[in-house]
Amino acid sequence: METSISSEMGDKSGQFDKKMRKLWRAFNHYYSKKELKILLRNVGWDVRRLAKELCDDYARAGGCDVDEEKEYEKIKKQLSRSSTKPEVWHRYIKFITEHRCNKQKNINIYQ
């Protein structure tokens, strides 16, 4: 049986666990967003270049054509929101690190 930190501390309401989960989500969001910005800088890309490469990748995969400007605006809006899920940042980070232009480079987020 799994016990929570709240119950171990005598907090029957579970408020401590809720606060810790909220704090963890905020930290994870901030850290992932920061990682993406650092990675973009290290590979010499900006948000517009990321949008262009994503659109090119969609087209190469045989997907429908995505408007580059709309993709750029979507990413820019995601960067400005605090509610964007860390999974979004992780997907972008994975895309950049596995991109054909960056495959030969030894990419380190913290160069």
φ and ψ of 67, to 5 deg: -70, 120
User: How far, in whole angstroms, is CA 38 from its chain's centroid?
Assistant: 12
Element containing residue 106 per DSSP (H, E): none
Q: Is the pLDDT of residue 33 over 50?
A: yes
The amino acid that residue 81 corresponds to is R
Going by C-alpha positions, the residue among 89, 19, 6, 86 that lies closest to residue 47 is 89
User: Residue 111: which pLDDT band, with cuts at 50, 70 and 90?
Assistant: very low
Average pLDDT for residues 73-91, to the nearest whole number? Answer: 88
Average pLDDT for residues 78-84, to the nearest whole number? Answer: 86
Mean pLDDT of the chain: 79
Element containing residue 105 per DSSP (H, E): none
How much of the chain exceeds pLDDT 90, in percent? Answer: 25
pLDDT at 46: 95
User: Residue 84: which pLDDT band, with cuts at 50, 70 and 90?
Assistant: confident
Q: Is the pLDDT of residue 31 over 80?
A: no
User: Residue 1: which pLDDT band, with cuts at 50, 70 and 90?
Assistant: very low
| Distance (Å, whole) CA 48 – CA 77 | 12
Contact 16, 8 (CB under 8 A): no
Average pLDDT for residues 40-58, to the nearest whole number? Answer: 92
- Joined tokens for residue 44: 């010499």
| Distance (Å, whole) CA 103 – CA 33 | 22
